[in-house]
Structure formats: C-alpha cells, structure tokens
C-alpha cells in the first residue's frame, strides 16, 4: 500500500503543480496520500502556503478539480480501481512551527 500511496502522491503532486490551471489553487504541496485497501478511496493531505482564505480557496479548487486529478491518476497508474480523491488540509507544519516557537520562548525565559 505504501508504494501505491507514494505513486498516487507523485502523480497528484506533478499534476497540481504543472497542469492544474484553477486560479484558486495557490502554492499547494501534496504531503501524503492514504489509500483504502480496496483502492476505492484516497485521502490526499495537502499543505497550503498562505492565510486561511488562501487555504480555503485552494481546497475548494482542488475539490472542484477532483475529476481532472482522478483522470490523471487513472492515466498514469495502472490500477484495478482509480480511487475517489478526498482532499484534507495537513496542518502538521503549522503545529511544528508553533511547537518550535513555544520551545524558543521557554528557553528565552531561562
């Protein structure tokens, strides 16, 4: 499953950065893909550079382009089923930044 997830992630990442023309989609990075064992569904985790409005717009753009993106996955990968894509915002980078900032403040207090 890890190889399938990585292959889907690579195709989506290349397509979003190179072929997707939706103006709502800003600077988006596909961070992870988790495909169900039956290959019918895939959760696509993305990080978006920008404020909340940019994130919301990018996610809406990705969700509206899911048919195009799904077709690209089908064309590039030979799979029994092409998974239905569900885009989810990945806030791991924000949490890591907040944690680093908290650690810096605590160290500065010492």
Q: pLDDT tens per residue, the chain (110 residues)? A: 899 999 999 999 999 998 988 889 988 999 999 999 999 999 999 999 888 899 999 999 999 999 999 999 999 998 888 899 999 999 888 889 899 999 999 999 88
CB 42 within 8 A of CB 74: no
Q: Please tell me the class of the 2-109 domain.
A: alpha beta
Q: How far apart are CA 84 and CA 100, in angstroms?
A: 36
Both structure tokens of 20? 């997707």
Q: Read off the pTM.
A: 0.84
């Amino acid at each position: 499953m890890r190889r399938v997830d990585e292959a889907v992630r690579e195709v989506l990442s290349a397509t979003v950065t190179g072929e997707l023309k939706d103006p709502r989609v800003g600077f988006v990075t596909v961070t992870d893909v988790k495909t169900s064992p039956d290959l019918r569904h895939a959760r696509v985790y993305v990080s978006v550079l920008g404020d909340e409005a940019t994130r919301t717009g990018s996610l809406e753009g990705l969700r509206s382009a899911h048919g195009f993106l799904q077709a690209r996955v089908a064309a590039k990968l030979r799979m029994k089923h092409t998974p239905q894509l569900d885009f989810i915002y990945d806030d791991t980078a924000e949490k890591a930044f907040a944690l680093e900032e908290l650690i810096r403040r605590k160290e500065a207090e010492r």
